[in-house]
Amino acid sequence: MSVTGKISVELGSTGWELMLLRLRYREGRLQPVAGNQPLELSGSGDVWVLFSGELDVFYTVATDQPRQKRYLYTAQPGDLLFGLPADHDVQLVAHGLAGSQVLKIQSATLAEFAEAAEYNSFVAVLLNNWFVQIGRRLYQPLPPADARRLEAGESFTVAAGQKLRPQQSLIWAHVHSGQLQYMTHPKQGLAAGESGPISSRLWMDVLEDSEIEALSLEEACLSPHFWASVAQFHLKVLDILKMLWEKEDEAEATTLQQRQIADFTAVDRAFVGLATVLEGGQRSTSLPIASTGDQLLSALQVIGQREHIQFESATPQQDLPLEDQLEAILQASRVRSRRVKLEDEWWKRDAGPLLGFRADTGQPVALLPSASGYALHNPDTGAEQEIEDSLAAKLDMTAFTLYRPFYRSSIRLLDLLTFGLGDNLSTLGIVLLGGAASGALALLTPILTGVLFDRIIPFSQTPQLAYVAIALLAGAIVSALFRLLQSYAVLRFETVAERSVQAAFIDRLLNLPTRFFREYTAGDLGQRAIGVSQIRAILSRTVLSAVLALVFSIFSFGILFFYSVSLALLTTGLAVLLFIVLGIVTSYQIRYQRQLSEAEGRLSGIVLQFINGIGKLRVAGAERRAFGIWAREFTEKRQIEYRIRLVNAVLVTFNEAFRLIALLLVFAVLAFSAQSTLSVGSYLAFNTAFIQFIGAALGFSAIITPLLSVFPLYERAKPILSTEPEVGETKVFPSQLTGSIEIANVTFRYDVNTPPVLDNVRMDVQPGEFLAIVGPSGSGKSTIVRLLLGFEKPEAGSILFGGQDLNELDIQAVRRQIGTVLQNGRLMSGDVLTNIIGASSASIEDAWEIAEMVGLAEDIRQMPMGMYTLVSEWGRTLSGGQRQRLLIARSLVHKPRIVIFDEATSALDNRTQDVVMDSLEALDATRIVVAHRLSTIQRANRIYVMQNGRVVQEGSFTELMSRRGLFADLAKRQLA
């Protein structure tokens, strides 16, 4: 028998069995119910008792569309099912599992049994279960925290505007005067003289000042008007179900529309990208700014156009504070931000586009870098105004800088380079222009050298010599200025590229699915992540240097043909030889660089594991073995480094020798050539240009070596860049979670070659319910938690939050609405306050409130600096109980509607655990608790017992203790 109420009755007792036998004797045979043989719950006055099996109860609404059914709840053996009016648009139907049987009786018979003293409490339990099960589906949100709690057996006078809920599971309320309304459902409530149930799912709004009498069901079912009130309540149930059906239809239509918008947006962006390719130019892939009338979104979209960030509107919640609205938009757009402070003439330094606010009105504005500093963009008028002292004083000191994410699901090496370029094409143009100018000015040296030795010196033109000196000096000065401009442009380019690429990469790393991190050690993954920063640095520096060297060498190479075609062709052959040797050497370097990167990754992983487990190594006396493992890996790394240095030494030696050999070859060809007509000046000019070209070529070869080292680094970082983020563009941003969760026939395994960890598991959690999951180690309890949090995806079946498939939702937005404490949860380095509120907008007052709720406030007061007491890494300076309470406080700081605890109270004493559980109950949150201690799960509405990946038992604590089975065996071990 399923008991969700708090009525005390000895289940499985002789009295209960006797009542069932008498009912069956009076009413006749049992009726089978199957999936293809459903039971229509229609007909006022009819009641069914489920004797065996389970019934899935659905409701359907008469519409023009083909008949659809929506799930209500699952009835367990011993549950009542009432027949409802057959002429209503809404009807209930039950489908049974194999072996399900029901007994049909009349409501008059049930009333007769209720009046019998020996059966009164049993009938009350049956009624309680029916009302609670129906009430859970009628309205999903939980009652407000400030709702007044009613106790059975008392009378109350309540004022208009109050909310009412029972202290326990359910009470029967009789309204003597005034008017109540069910859960803000218009026209559905209790007027003066009417009676009905009130539960945590059927809470009431007080419309008028009212006088109410609260009765227990044992008392209420003895009233002569009780059964008529039950029939009236059933009519209200059907009306509310019809309204919920219509609301769910609207919600489904909205979800479908959001999905279609996401699909169309993805297609639009694809076409914009195609247009960029076809037009052969750079073009923003952002869509046009929508005229939303939302100042915040408009300001963000102005910044988005400048930074190539795509902002999307969130679910309208205009009653939220502006900062919370900003957080909602950023979450919906999957864009990260950082709070900054505007001070010390901030507008005179370029910090990138910022989202600012007017100090007097709080109006959001876009602060955009301009030629003279910063300009303020008004999202209402579109006007821009240069920021000066007077305007800066009118702005709030708090602003936000925004970070562009990688929008491609898989990032290629070219994408990293183009992403870093961003709006820096003008900077790149300056670099190229400076390189071309420097190359052109470099021609002055060979040209003037030829003029000097052919015309000026032979004819003793002393004044002309001064002009040549002045020209060379001017050329050197101008070239130096161009180099200075280049250096500034390169520095700016590197700074901007580092900011954008590194932030986008960290965002991508944080967005990867959890299963990705199982494949690498933390140290190895850290090395791979650092590789992206190294790639960015190499690309931004060496690519520009290579381009400059190439531009510079083109001018010198071209002038060689002007002086001597034969010698220029010889120079071409020498350059080809240089690059052939370079290619051979580089192939060895790349091979060794790959080996070095892998060795560094392994070594970093081993060192980090040793540091984290230093205590275990000392306890086991394994320091020597650990050192041996480290030494072996370190030796291999040093051997590879030696090979790389050896190859580099060969390359450096070749480069130095090549310069001299190339000059000797030019001399030899010139000396032994009978047809040479070069004058002394022409030869010296050719020689000068030749030296410049060879120098540029050798410089280019020196650049190629580190440039090619990018490939091993990219290969190491590729798993991070190519893995699909866990939240794609087509995922739907969820609305506020209601607390309803369904695990529908889920099968899961960690590896395709292993047996399933979960095998066809089904669980149903109603809003506000306390659900416990127990079982021996390895039964799949923690795996269920991982599936609920989206860390893993089921092989079969689905997980639904409020009727929405988790696989279709933005899982990160779902997690933000869940308070979670896992088995291996860890504290952050920092103070106690930071560990409680994190990076949220919660205040220190909120932190103290949560600390009181989890029984930690007194401990914090006794700490040296209170909330600002420093906590060491992983909280080693705190006791196990303090660490767990701090983790629990962190999970509850936002007062979530869903709380998931995996052995979260194992280190707490019974008194502290009671404080925590009382606080959780006051939150009215849906609680899913994985635990072994009986004291943790005694209050649970339902307990699922798992073994070998299957649910083998289900029921309340009292029910399971009264049955033979795994739960009773586990309990006896603890009691023993």
Question: By C-alpha distance, which of 357, 365, 369 is closest to 383?
Answer: 365
- pLDDT tens profile 425-471: 666 666 677 667 776 777 777 777 777 777 777 767 777 777 778 87
Instruction: Enter the tokens of residue 474.
Output: 């001017």
- Amino acid code (one letter) for 583: G
User: Which residue is it, tokens 């004819």?
Assistant: 459
What is the model's pLDDT at position 546?
67
**Residue that wins the pLDDT comparison between 533 and 345:** 345
> Is the model's pLDDT at 291 over the cut of 50?
no
- pLDDT tens profile 937-953: 888 888 999 999 999 98
> Is the model's pLDDT at 540 over the cut of 80?
no
**Bridge partners of 803?**
none
Is the backbone of residue 484 left (phi > 0), alpha (psi -120 to 50) or beta? alpha
Helix (H, G, I), strand (E, B) or coil at 546: helix
| Least confidently predicted of 112-121, 490-499, 902-911 | 490-499
What φ, ψ does residue 413 adopt, rounded to 5°?
A: -60, -40
Question: By C-alpha distance, which of 962, 908, 960, 959 is closest to 935?
Answer: 908
What is the model's pLDDT at position 3?
38
Distance from first CA to last CA of the chain, Å, rounded?
A: 27
Q: From CA 863, how far away is CA 552, in angstroms rounded?
A: 67
Long-range contacts made by residues 950-956, C-beta under 8 angstroms, separation at least 24? 950/759, 950/760, 950/761, 951/761, 951/762, 951/763, 954/76, 955/2, 955/3, 955/76, 956/2, 956/3, 956/4
- pLDDT tens profile 600-650: 888 888 888 888 788 888 888 888 888 888 999 899 989 988 988 888 888
What's the whole-number mean pLDDT along residues 174-183? Answer: 87
> Is the model's pLDDT at 550 over the cut of 60?
yes
What is the model's pLDDT at position 784?
93
Q: From CA 590, how far away is CA 577, in angstroms rounded?
A: 20
The sheet with strand 898-902 has its strands ordered as 818-821, 898-902, 926-930, 770-774, 942-947, 950-955
What is the model's pLDDT at position 729?
66
What's the whole-number mean pLDDT along residues 246-253? Answer: 77
- pLDDT tens profile 882-922: 888 888 888 888 888 899 998 888 777 778 888 888 777 77
What is the model's pLDDT at position 292?
42
What's the whole-number mean pLDDT along residues 23-51? Answer: 83
What is the model's pLDDT at position 287?
38
Domains of the chain (ranges; CATH) run 140-223 (2.60.120.10), 295-403 (3.90.70.10), 413-566+582-611+635-722 (1.20.1560.10), 741-975 (3.40.50.300)
- pLDDT tens profile 741-788: 889 889 999 888 888 999 989 998 888 788 999 988 888 888 999 999
Most confident of 19-28, 534-543, 575-584, 682-691: 575-584
> Is the model's pLDDT at 285 over the cut of 60?
no
What's the whole-number mean pLDDT along residues 476-480? Answer: 76
Instruction: Enter the tokens of residue 902.
Output: 């995996």
Q: Which residues contact 48 (CB under 8 A, 6 or more apart)?
A: 31, 39, 41, 80, 81, 83, 102, 103, 104, 105
What is the model's pLDDT at position 10?
44
**Bridge partners of 174?**
195, 213
Confidence band of 738 (pLDDT split at 50, 70, 90):
confident
**Residue that wins the pLDDT comparison between 901 and 668:** 901
State the pairing for strand pair 90-96/55-61: antiparallel
- pLDDT tens profile 380-432: 788 888 988 888 888 988 899 998 888 767 777 777 777 766 656 666 666 67
What's the whole-number mean pLDDT along residues 243-265? Answer: 72
Instruction: Enter the tokens of residue 602.
Output: 């392994």
Confidence band of 140 (pLDDT split at 50, 70, 90):
low
Helical ranges in 283-376 per DSSP H: 295-307, 322-333
Give CA 512 to chain center in angstroms. Answer: 9
Question: By C-alpha distance, which of 92, 85, 90 is closest to 40?
Answer: 92
Confidence band of 100 (pLDDT split at 50, 70, 90):
confident
What is the model's pLDDT at position 773?
92
* Percent of the chain residues past pLDDT 70, beyond the cut: 86
Angle between helix axes 544-563 and 565-612 (nearest 10 degrees) is 170
Confidence band of 13 (pLDDT split at 50, 70, 90):
low
- Amino acid code (one letter) for 299: A
What's the whole-number mean pLDDT along residues 491-504? Answer: 76
What is the residue-averaged pLDDT of the chain? 80
| Least confidently predicted of 239-243, 365-369, 720-724, 730-734 | 730-734
What is the model's pLDDT at position 788?
92
Burial class (CB in 10 A: 0-12, 13-18, 19+), 414: exposed
Task: Give, in order, the Cα–Cα distances in Å from 221 to each of 156, 193, 656.
Answer: 20, 16, 104
Long-range contacts made by residues 338-343, C-beta under 8 angstroms, separation at least 24? 338/400, 338/401, 338/403, 339/398, 339/399, 339/400, 340/398, 340/399, 340/400, 340/401, 341/397, 341/398, 341/399, 342/392, 342/395, 342/396, 342/397, 342/398, 342/399, 343/397
What is the model's pLDDT at position 268?
64
- pLDDT tens profile 800-834: 988 788 888 888 888 888 999 888 788 888 888 88
**Residue that wins the pLDDT comparison between 511 and 145:** 511
What is the model's pLDDT at position 5?
38
Q: From CA 73, how far away is CA 201, in angstroms rounded?
A: 14
Q: Which residues contact 257 (CB under 8 A, 6 or more apart)?
A: none
**Residue that wins the pLDDT comparison between 356 and 802:** 356
What's the whole-number mean pLDDT along residues 177-193? Answer: 82
What φ, ψ does residue 961 adopt, rounded to 5°?
A: -70, -25
What is the model's pLDDT at position 282?
42
What's the whole-number mean pLDDT along residues 175-186? Answer: 82
Q: Are 667 and 687 in contact (CB under 8 A)?
A: no
Confidence band of 7 (pLDDT split at 50, 70, 90):
very low
Q: Are 748 and 758 in contact (CB under 8 A)?
A: yes
Helical ranges in 280-321 per DSSP H: 295-307
State the pairing for strand pair 926-930/942-947: unpaired
Q: Are 361 and 308 in contact (CB under 8 A)?
A: no
Q: Are 311 and 363 in contact (CB under 8 A)?
A: no
> Is the model's pLDDT at 276 over the cut of 70?
no
**Residue that wins the pLDDT comparison between 523 and 642:** 642
Q: HEC string of 7-29? A: CCCCCCCHHHHHHHHHHHHHHCC
What φ, ψ does residue 424 adopt, rounded to 5°?
A: -95, 20
State the pairing for strand pair 46-52/100-106: antiparallel
What φ, ψ does residue 363 adopt, rounded to 5°?
A: -65, 130
